[in-house]
Amino acid sequence: MLNGKKVVFSGVQPSGNLTIGNYLGAIKNFSTFSEEYHCFYCVVDLHAITVRQVPAELRRRTYETLALYIAAGLDPQKNTLFVQSHVPAHAELGWMLDCFTMFGELSRMTQFKDKSQKNADNINAGLFTYPSLMAADILLYQTDLVPVGIDQKQHLELARDIAGRFNGLYSDTFTVPEGYIPQTGMKIMSLAEPTAKMSKSDKNQNAVVYILDNKDDILRKFKRAVTDSGSEVRYAEGKDGVNNLMTIYRAFTGKSNEEIEREFEGRGYGDFKMAVGEACADTLAPVQAEFNRLIADKAYLESVMREGAQSAAYCARKTLSKVQRKLGFVTL
Ligand code: TYM
């Protein structure tokens, strides 16, 4: 609780251009909490360096991710928007929580296994301990609710275990957070390979729709999306490509599967794909327009970062001091 409100925390890595997976699974939902909760939304640059980044691109994407938060409806007056590396308490608590996270637990993380396969020449210690830094992000703010896509569920469960372990050893210190995983959009799949998650680090540009893609690109990518040899628009076991397109259409239009099936009765995949592309492009157009306005104003974005970091650091300090005292550190 913070000033009588429950707390929401979430983060996005500025490690690539953001996709409609990031949008539908996470960012789109963020603003729904702004009134009822005290919300912290972070650009997690410390996490991004677990994979090699080009410095100029990391810097640019950090601004862009913040601008997208605002463009997607997050008012900086109502939400604390900030950059992780601007609040040193994240790295500090991250280290402390490393000492309460087991090697075995980290070894079981599927994201670690995936990423070490993809970056076989750089399986660094940060990639391994990534989840305890993520736990620190969440636990620093006594977070009640964490809106994320389903790929973060395992990390979130580990954060809950770490909180419970620490509380058990040192008496109540951390709120044990709950996840908020949206029914529709929790796992948007690749358009080229619909059994794999749509990912900002995918090398195949046609597999991924970016939030900032222009309308022509969006329509072209949906047109090329892999479906199957059938022609019926129906949600069914094994029709991964069509199911994914139906999920995307549901998420952008709010329609149900039954409504979609009725809408495309007797029409082929071509019409359907076009409609999904249109719905996506129409929803993203105002977000893109606002993004373009904001990204031109670096001074404004920096002022948001500065204020956000100040307010986040104030809250984070309280938890960090509590942890330091409990661990037996000398505090001056
Ligand atoms: P990241 O940057 O990979 O993704 C940001 C958010 O987007 C969601 N997401 C998806 N949702 C649906 N379909 C997809 N294809 C898809 N791809 C990504 C993710 O679930 C996430 O919610 N570890 C986190 C960042 C993080 C964090 C945190 C999140 C660091 N600390 C604390 C919450 C709380 C990550 O890598 O997200």
Q: In the beta sheet, which residues pair with residue 147?
A: 180
- Identify whether residues 71 and 151 lie together within a single domain: yes
Strand ordering across the sheet containing 178-180: 79-83, 38-43, 7-12, 145-147, 178-180
**Rounded distance, CA 47 to CA 94, Å?**
11
- Identify whether residues 87 and 166 lie together within a single domain: yes
How far does residue 307's CA lie from ligand 1's centre (Å)? 24
Please report whether residue 197 resides in a domain: no
Catalytic position from the list 28, 115, 221, 239: 115
pLDDT of residue 113: 95
- Identify whether residues 210 and 133 lie together within a single domain: no
Helix or strand (DSSP H, E) at 147: strand 145-147
Query: With 90 as the cut, is the pLDDT of residue 3 above it?
Result: no
pLDDT of residue 143: 98
Q: For ligand 1, pick from 7, 12, 202 the residue to mutate: most ligand atoms within 8 Å of CB.
A: 12
- Identify whether residues 158 and 49 lie together within a single domain: yes
Q: What is the mean pLDDT of residues 289-313?
A: 98
pLDDT in tens, 82-141: 999 999 999 999 999 999 999 999 999 999 999 999 889 999 999 999 999 999 999 999
- Identify whether residues 154 and 249 lie together within a single domain: no
How far does residue 269's CA lie from ligand 1's centre (Å)? 30
Q: What is the mean pLDDT of residues 278-283?
A: 98
- Identify whether residues 251 and 157 lie together within a single domain: no
Please report whether residue 145 resides in a domain: yes
Please report whether residue 194 resides in a domain: no
Neighbour-count burial for 218-243, b at 16+ CB within 10 Å, e otherwise: bbebbeebbbeeeebbebeeebbbbb
Q: Find out whether 101 and 131 touch, Cβ atoms under 8 Å.
A: yes
Please report whether residue 2 resides in a domain: no
- Identify whether residues 111 and 141 lie together within a single domain: yes
Q: What is the mean pLDDT of residues 166-195?
A: 97
Please report whether residue 61 resides in a domain: yes
**Rounded distance, CA 55 to CA 61, Å?**
10
Kindly indicate the confidence band of residue 332, based on its pLDDT and cuts at 50, 70 and 90.
confident
**Of the ranges 83-92, 177-186, 215-224, 226-235, which one carries the lowest mean pLDDT score?**
226-235
CATH number at residue 45: 3.40.50.620
Kindly indicate the confidence band of residue 216, based on its pLDDT and cuts at 50, 70 and 90.
very high
Nearest ligand 1 atom to alpha carbon 47: 30
Nearest ligand 1 atom to alpha carbon 22: 7
Tokens 């929790």, residue located: 186
Ligand 1, atom 4, lies closest to the CA of 12
Q: Find out whether 166 and 154 touch, Cβ atoms under 8 Å.
A: no
- Identify whether residues 150 and 231 lie together within a single domain: no
As for how many domains the chain has, the answer is: 2
- Identify whether residues 223 and 159 lie together within a single domain: no
Kindly indicate the confidence band of residue 228, based on its pLDDT and cuts at 50, 70 and 90.
confident
Average pLDDT, the chain: 97
pLDDT of residue 2: 86
Please report whether residue 92 resides in a domain: yes
pLDDT of residue 148: 98
- Identify whether residues 158 and 210 lie together within a single domain: no
Tokens 């750089």, residue located: 122
Active site residue 197: yes
Q: Could you tell me the residue range of the domain that residue 260 belongs to?
A: 205-292
pLDDT in tens, 124-161: 999 999 999 999 999 999 999 999 999 999 999 999 99
Query: With 90 as the cut, is the pLDDT of residue 331 above it?
Result: no
- Identify whether residues 80 and 135 lie together within a single domain: yes
**Of the candidates 62, 157, 51, 138, the residue with the CA atom closest to the CA atom of residue 94:** 138
How far does residue 265's CA lie from ligand 1's centre (Å)? 35
Query: With 90 as the cut, is the pLDDT of residue 44 above it?
Result: yes
Instruction: Name residues whose C-beta falls within 8 Å of residue 82's C-beta, 6 or more positions apart in sequence.
Output: 40, 41, 42, 43, 305, 308, 309, 311, 312
Q: What is the mean pLDDT of residues 228-254?
A: 94
pLDDT in tens, 191-206: 999 999 999 989 999 9
Please report whether residue 288 resides in a domain: yes
- Identify whether residues 171 and 232 lie together within a single domain: no
Which ranges in 87-179 belong to alpha helices (H)?
Answer: 89-98, 103-107, 110-118, 125-139, 153-170
How far does residue 261's CA lie from ligand 1's centre (Å)? 30
* Collapsed DSSP state (helix, strand, coil) of residue 179: strand
CATH number at residue 235: 1.10.240.10
**Ligand 1 within 6 A of CB of 71:** no
pLDDT of residue 229: 84
pLDDT of residue 230: 87
